[in-house]
Amino acid sequence: MKLMLYMITLALFTSVFAQDFQILIGGEFGQTKHKWKDYTGEWENDFGMRLGGETDESRIYLSYNYVEIKDFIPDRNGKDTNFKTHTALLNFDAKTPKYYKVFRGFVGVHVGALYSQWDLGDDPTAGDNKDDTNFIYGAKAGIIIDLFDSFYLESGLKYSLINASSDSITPSDIINYYGAVNLKF
């Protein structure tokens, strides 16, 4: 399954760059909710950046996102417990034609890696700090608002599944709604 996703992404990546394309640079901000087997987290701030290429019909880019959950385990007698995720994704989006000269929709897929880190602070009775890296994949959809030829805004919803073992500290899935600012060159 993983190999098939990577091969499809590589084929899409090659087709985008075989056409005339523009360089894409952007930033993301939004809210993310992590879900574990027995627990669903709160909405947390998400920040990220992206770099890639795009045509009028599609885009492919690398993205990095960061989320930090402070006081992940409540009621620890003032001890800090933080949970952090770093996500690196290869994204492919197909864009619709423009509506009213500025609006367009998009749907897309993403694959990559999710690094999770659980920091238990300086509490020696809590056990070791833990970290884990896992395969992540998912889909997304949203709307693009083309303000200028080289600048556009984006709003979307992203859902990701994580291939993690049952004893992992890594969440099983993530939902993220976000806004993005993008520049094209």
Q: In sequence order, what are the beta bridge partners of 130? A: 118
Beta strands (DSSP E) in 55-124 are: 58-69, 82-95, 103-119
> How many domains, the chain?
1
Q: Whole domain around residue 179: which residue ranges? A: 2-184
The sign of the dihedral angle between the CA atoms of 90, 95, 100, 101 is: positive
pLDDT, tens only, 129-143:
578 899 999 999 999
The sign of the dihedral angle between the CA atoms of 103, 22, 179, 159 is: positive
pTM over 0.85: no
SS3 of residue 111 by DSSP = strand
pLDDT, tens only, 42-81:
889 999 999 999 999 999 999 999 999 876 665 555 666 7
> How confident is the prediction along the chain (185 residues), in pLDDT tens digits per residue?
566 656 566 665 555 555 678 999 999 999 999 888 777 788 899 999 999 999 999 999 999 999 998 766 655 556 667 889 999 999 999 999 999 989 999 999 999 999 988 876 665 555 565 788 999 999 999 999 999 989 999 999 999 999 876 666 778 899 999 999 999 99
Query: What is the rounded distance in angstroms from the CA atom of residue 68 to the CA atom of residue 89?
Result: 18
Please report, for residues 113, 134, 136, 159, 169, the alpha-carbon distance to residue 164 in angstroms, rounded to integers and kept in the order given. 11, 6, 9, 16, 8
The CATH number of whichever domain residue 142 belongs to comes to 2.40.160.20
Q: Are 46 and 28 in contact (CB under 8 A)?
A: yes
